[in-house]
Amino acid sequence: MKSFHIGGVHPAENKLSAGSPIREAALPRQAVFSMFQHIGAPAKPVVQKGDTVKVGTLLAEAGGFVSAPVYSSVSGKVNKIDAVVDASGTRRMAVIVDVEGDEWEETIDRSKSLVRLSDRPDLDSKTIVEKIKNAGIVGMGGATFPCHVKLTPPPGSKAECVIINAVECEPYLTADHRLMLEHPEEILVGVDLIMKAVNVTKGYIGIENNKPDAIRLMTEKAKQYPGIEVVPLKVKYPQGGEKQLIDAVIGRQVPAPPAIPINVGAVVQNVGTAYAIYEAVMKNKPLIDRVITVTGKSVRNPSNLLARLGTPFQQLIDECGGLPEDTGKVIGGGPMMGKALLSLDVPMTKGSSGLLIMNKKEARRAEPQPCIRCAKCVSACPMGLEPYLLSKLASMEEWETAEKNDIVSCIECGSCQFTCPSNRPLLDMIRVGKTTVMGIIRNRAAAKK
């Protein structure tokens, strides 16, 4: 079975909510729309306090090319535009809407009927990318990179294939899995649209082998979609890393940054993104909701919820049986790459793939011990780096040496820290080093100009 080749770890899967069908979460009473739901320039609000909005009304326009607009997911009145604490732990600009009723913009097609690409011969690549851009779609796997940027290959590079990331290698999370089981055709049309957008005829859907039902169903349905192939992948973390996935599916290696996947001819999109693209292009529905997994060992009712963006996390947890008493940490995202939240008033954003509630015992990080030079972190690193060294260099502020040792290649997957028998906070330090070195590189490039 196909897999990436360097490193990797096997965390316990804990897919507690795999059997629970997606259900709609209740509307919030107040929805908070952060202007920072994507990587790149923040969105710029176009509404004012007191404005009435509907579901699908534009709240904020893109702040540049690498940016995305934000739409209201509820109907009601704009309460205020203010800075609130979001999942990043910092206070940032957001539009806050008081919910009244549930009125949708007329342009949105809310019917469930399937529209295939063959039904819409008028769609050409430019229109598709434009529609995706206007719908505010970003990478829904958690990276939140504006989708249209990836679908606009820089001059000189050409896409050869589209790879859909349906790996969901993070333990606990099941949102993508359920989406495939419940909306396979919509996803396949979405893949068709992406392929059309970048003018390629080949599309792969990579699915980890712990989801045999999804593999079976998608393979079955994909027969009607020429050019799309389902690729079962070995269960290994981080199979869903962009570079790891390209390695596993087409056997090509993306060189160190600043190289990007398109340099080896691949366009990678998440399966949730494909679904959102289907809805945006075929149904005129901007990105206003998404599936999020709310899970944890002590959660009474681990579920997959289709929730409106801007819903406070507290409400999602209440829908799944409330916050357990022995809660130690609540994590936005999965256990490997997610981030602990400071407060449950934080609103759900475009990149919220999961909400993991860890009990006290799980949450506690063990006391770090001295490094014993076992090199387990080195064998675990899927990027072929030397994590023990990088973390040391970062703590000693040896930026130059860290740069030479390729610290910017780190994908922050956490495999090193997960595997270290001495519980060393490797990624903590590497992240500091990576951010600093990236800053140094940026300054250098700016100085050259």
Partner 1 sequence: MNVILIAVIVLGVIGLVSALVLYFISHKFAVHEDPRIAQVSEVLPQANCGGCGYPGCSGFAAACVKAADAGSLEGKLCPVGGQPVMEQVAGILGMAAVASAPKVAVVRCNGTCENRPRNAEFDGAVSCRVKNMTGMGDTGCPYGCLGCGDCVSKCQFGAISMDAETGLPVVDEEKCTACGACAKACPRSIIEIRLKGPKGRRVVVLCNNKDKGAIANKACKASCIGCGKCVKTCEKFQAITLENNLAYIDAEKCKMCRKCEEACPKGAIHGFNFPPRKPKAEEPAVQSTDNTPNQNVEPSKAE
Q: Contact positions toward ligand SF4, by CB under 6 A?
A: 371-377, 380-383, 385, 387-388, 410-416, 419-422, 424, 426-427, 430
- Min. distance of Cβ 337 from partner 1 in angstroms? 14
Partner from partner 1, ligand SF4, none binding residue 91, C-beta < 5-8 Å depending on class? partner 1
User: Where does residue 371 rank: exposed (0-12), middle (13-18), buried (19+ CB within 10 A)?
Assistant: middle
End-to-end CA distance of the chain: 47
Question: What residue type is assigned to position 134 of the chain?
Answer: N
| Candidates 82-90, 234-242, 313-321, 374-382; binding stretch for partner 1 (CB under 8 A) | 82-90
Question: What residue type is assigned to position 44 of the chain?
Answer: K
**Dihedral, CA atoms, 330, 272, 307, 25, nearest 10 degrees?**
-100
Question: What residue type is assigned to position 234 of the chain?
Answer: K
3-state class percentages of the chain: helix first, strand second, coil last, to nearest 5: 30, 20, 50
- Min. distance of Cβ 89 from partner 1 in angstroms? 2
**158 binds partner 1, rule: CB under 8 A:** no
Using the CB atoms, write b or e for 183-210: b if 16+ within 10 Å: bbebbbbbbbbbbbbbebeebbbbbbbb
- The Cα–Cα gap between 325 and 354 comes to 20
In angstroms, what CA-CA distances link 382 with 88, 176, 335? 26, 23, 18
- The Cα–Cα gap between 106 and 285 comes to 10
**428 binds partner 1, rule: CB under 8 A:** yes
Phi then psi for residue 254, to 5 deg, are: -80, 125
**340 binds partner 1, rule: CB under 8 A:** yes
Using the minimum distance from each CB to partner 1, give the nearer residue, 241 or 332.
332
Partner from partner 1, ligand SF4, none binding residue 227, C-beta < 5-8 Å depending on class? none
| Candidates 9-17, 239-247, 291-299, 340-348; binding stretch for partner 1 (CB under 8 A) | 340-348
Cβ proximity of 322 and 316 under 8 Å = no
Partner from partner 1, ligand SF4, none binding residue 245, C-beta < 5-8 Å depending on class? none
Using the minimum distance from each CB to partner 1, give the nearer residue, 90 or 157.
90
**425 binds partner 1, rule: CB under 8 A:** yes
Partner from ligand SF4, partner 1, none binding residue 89, C-beta < 5-8 Å depending on class? partner 1
In angstroms, what CA-CA distances link 166 with 175, 177, 215, 393? 10, 8, 10, 35
- Min. distance of Cβ 391 from ligand SF4 in angstroms? 7
Site string for partner 1, 359-398 (x = CB under 8 A): -----xx--x--------------------------x---
- Min. distance of Cβ 120 from ligand SF4 in angstroms? 41
**443 binds partner 1, rule: CB under 8 A:** no
**431 binds partner 1, rule: CB under 8 A:** yes
Partner from ligand SF4, partner 1, none binding residue 372, C-beta < 5-8 Å depending on class? ligand SF4
- The Cα–Cα gap between 278 and 140 comes to 13
Using the minimum distance from each CB to partner 1, give the nearer residue, 5 or 339.
339
Residues near partner 1, by CB under 8 A: 85, 88-91, 339-340, 342-343, 364-365, 368, 395, 425, 428-429, 431-432, 435
